Structure 1
Amino acid sequence: MAFLSSRDPAQARLLLLTAVLFLSYLCVAIPLPAVPVYVSGRLGLDNVCAGLATGMTFLAAIFSRGHAGGFADRRGPKVAVARGLALYVAGGLVSLAAGLQQGMPMVAYPTLLAGRLLLGLGESFVGVGVVAWGVGIVGPQRTGRVLSLVGASIYGALAVGGPVGLVLLDRVGFAGAMAVSTLLPCLGLLAMTPMAGVAPHAQPERPSFLAIMGRIWGHGLIVCLQGIGFAAIGAFFALYFLDRIWDHAGLGLTAFGGGFVLVRVLFGHLPDRIGGLTVATLSLAVEAMGQVLVWGAHGPSLALAGAFMTGLGCSLIFPSMGREVVRLVPPHLRATALGGFTAFQDLAYGLTGPLAGLMADRVGYGSVFLVGAAAAAVGMAISLHLRQMRVAAQA
């Protein structure tokens, strides 16, 4: 727990930065369960449309992570975070406009997609900027811990924002929920303004983005496969409960986030201590078991336990692989590499929504979680392979 001590000025700055991230990320968390319910229940569209609306944020982030990383390397992480928060506000306002057009689904839906796209662009700049800022504050040797705290903020926001989003949808409608989401990044902008940034890196010759991706794609693929389980819970857990007429549909993200944050707080030091690939292998096994539990659940308690177990498993995979990625590139390419690395996670989140929606329409919601379990098992196999390659190279 020494890492959390506020007596170290650098650690105190990092804690403040992650607190700002938690507050701001609620604007992503609140719409996550509300969007598919709004699209399928209020606009009367099918599950593929609901999944696409959920995944649009992450699809947009896929194609903008590289640009956001290069921007953070050149202009500095603080400027990148500020730009991302401004895009969050714009995305919230456009999504609010979609909520005001509920009686016109053919107008409301494309408007909502535009708002989700802006939110995804903002997520690129905020996500890459906060990580690069945190690494700049405490140093690259603590990258795993930075990623652990950043992830705890993000998934803590998901744990809180998920049920809040459904409550707001029920009490004040989709437009009201989006109004709250728009306010939160404004508060984040106010909170981060007086914070000291870190200087951008000097600009020596830079390899192409594809060349950088060539160094890290294996670790990114593990994160992509890991993300399918979370994306399934985020997009379809509430609909799964509603379809089975179970109570507590809004608690899926809370259960997931609770397990996720618990592991980050208690064991966030493990990637730096015992190695990222070792931690990822064990974590993916736990995630796979959690997804199987959700798939085979005969009641809400078991399904929520599976979501909690999925959170336990997912928790350390991103910081574990992020630690490995940072070690593979020089400092002036760090934000760019992290941007490309994070795009693999966005790929999982973006594609799982519409593809799982298509599957849910044909064979039911439970099948989505079985796919999540299979993906985690494949990720575990890749992690074991990379670990064996490293051991062979060091022999």
Structure 2
Amino acid sequence: MQPQRRDRAALAGVVFAVLFAQTLLYPGVPQLVASFGLRPNLDAGTWFLAAEFAGFILFAGVWGALSDAAGTRRGFIAAGALGGGLIYGLLAAVPEIPFWSLLLVRFFGGAFTIGAFSLAIATLMDLGGGNGRNMGAAGIAIGLGTGLGAPLGGQLYRLGPRAPLAATALLMALVGLLALRLRETPGTGRETHALEALTTLRAHPSLAVPYAFGFADRFTAGFFALVGVFYFQTRFGLDAGGTGLLLGAFFLPFALLQYPFGVLSDRIGRVGPVALGSFAYGVVIVAVSVTPTALLAAVAMALVGAFGALCAPATLALVNDLAPADARGTATGGFNVLGSLGFLTGVVGGGLLADRFGYGTAFLAAGGAEMLLALALLPALLRLDVERVATFAKGND
């Protein structure tokens, strides 16, 4: 294998491992928090997931600044993966601990893990051979990591509530050791700070449209990571294994269909996939909450994944269509910052809604918000430079 291809594959492997490890835990969050001596309720699950994402959001820029200052990323990728693996291993081994201690450990786990993930993406941006090819490798890794993690994690829970933690610790430690052998090419890829993203948004306010859709889409992902898990186990009496399969019914089509739907958006334009995809996405989210059986819920979840795959790549492509060439990296970084905030909001907000008003109201709020956003922003979508965006790929056919 050529060195550049090997480097691309190795960096994509880091991205895959982090997403795979993260989603391994989702199907059995109630059982996992119970293993620490906590009540397996929505409140405990909410803060268990939110603590890690708080670390993601607050430390992504820190890792980027450190690697920029040092002029290297390899050592920081290894440090992030090894640190994350150590903390996952600590959680797998410790007995019952106070809730605040658990949240603190989860926060630092997120702070380490995001270093490996975000700097692997930045290093892929540094590689030659075409940024589209490099980001395509990242996209495949993200899709496979999220698509495979939940169903396999559900099966691991059958070995014990801490089994996914142990598997994650071993995987992250292996990634950290292999990262020490990465080659890197000095380049311009770097992490985007939140303030830089806000400055770009102020200079190019049309980016607010895809940013809003990105926030909403990731909100629903966070919603299913927590509320969906508790709902499926409460509504259908599923264990972690069955819950993992239901989550997989969403994640697998979401991962596998993004590339063909992204190509479709190049040919027909972004407006249709973003607006129609988002509205249909909201409809099927609400439909999940009224399905009478687990089998029908799986069908509805597959539709959620399919419509999510229709709008997600078109939304990100719209960011690149609207941003000037010299600000695309920052604009994409801003999109990811808003996406992470959306996921965190979906975990916390979804958990609070379900806890106070019930699952039906929570699903209606999550899906309804997506539908209302699609309707409210349709005029703004149509006012964008639609002709340029819609014919984006025609000159390259």
- State the TM bucket, normalised to the shorter chain: 0.7 to 0.9
Instruction: Answer yes or no: is the 8 Å Cα contact 1:288–1:377 preserved in 2.
Output: yes
Task: Quote the Cα distance in structure 2 between the aligned partners of 1:117 and 1:38.
Answer: 16
What displacement does 1:392 show?
7.7
**Pairwise mapping of residues 18-167 of structure 1 onto structure 2 (< 5 A)?**
18-39=12-33, 43-44=38-39, 46-71=41-66, 75=71, 78=74, 81-97=77-93, 100-102=94-96, 104=97, 107=98, 109-137=99-127, 142=132, 146-147=134-135, 149-167=137-155
TM-score, scaled relative to structure 2: 0.80
Partner of 2:394: none
Per mean C-alpha deviation after superposition, the further-off stretch among 385-394 and 126-135 is 385-394
Distance of aligned partners of 1:280 and 1:243 in 2 relative to their CA distance in 1, 3 Å threshold: same
Unpaired segments ≥5 residues, structure 1: 1-5
Distance of aligned partners of 1:123 and 1:153 in 2 relative to their CA distance in 1, 3 Å threshold: same
What displacement does 1:266 show?
3.4
Describe the superposition over 1:276-305 as per-residue Cα deviations: whole angstroms up to 9, x where unpaired: 454322431332232022122111112112
Task: Quote the Cα distance in structure 2 between the aligned partners of 1:139 and 1:324.
Answer: 23
TM-score, scaled relative to structure 1: 0.80
Alignment partner of 2:248 out of 251, 254, 262:
254
Describe the superposition over 1:179-231 as per-residue Cα deviations: whole angstroms up to 9, x where unpaired: 2111111222333433332313399xx99523134344442221110112222
Name the aligned partner's letter for residue 96 of structure 1.
A
Task: Quote the Cα distance in structure 2 between the aligned partners of 1:11 and 1:301.
Answer: 41
What displacement does 1:334 show?
5.5
Describe the superposition over 1:246-294 as per-residue Cα deviations: whole angstroms up to 9, x where unpaired: 4422212211111112202433434555554543224313322320221
Unpaired segments ≥5 residues, structure 2: 389-397
Q: Does 1:197 align with 2:184?
A: yes
Instruction: Answer yes or no: is the 8 Å Cα contact 1:88–1:123 preserved in 2.
Output: yes
Describe the superposition over 1:350-390 as per-residue Cα deviations: whole angstroms up to 9, x where unpaired: 12222222222233223332222123224424653443232
What displacement does 1:131 show?
3.0
Distance of aligned partners of 1:140 and 1:337 in 2 relative to their CA distance in 1, 3 Å threshold: farther
Partner of 1:243: 234
Distance of aligned partners of 1:258 and 1:181 in 2 relative to their CA distance in 1, 3 Å threshold: same
Distance of aligned partners of 1:194 and 1:274 in 2 relative to their CA distance in 1, 3 Å threshold: farther
Alignment partner of 2:299 out of 288, 291, 305:
305
Distance of aligned partners of 1:72 and 1:371 in 2 relative to their CA distance in 1, 3 Å threshold: farther
Q: Does 1:219 align with 2:210?
A: yes
Q: Secondary structure at the match of 2:384?
A: helix
Partner of 2:222: 231
Task: Quote the Cα distance in structure 2 between the aligned partners of 1:76 and 1:316.
Answer: 36
Name the aligned partner's letter for residue 8 of structure 2.
L
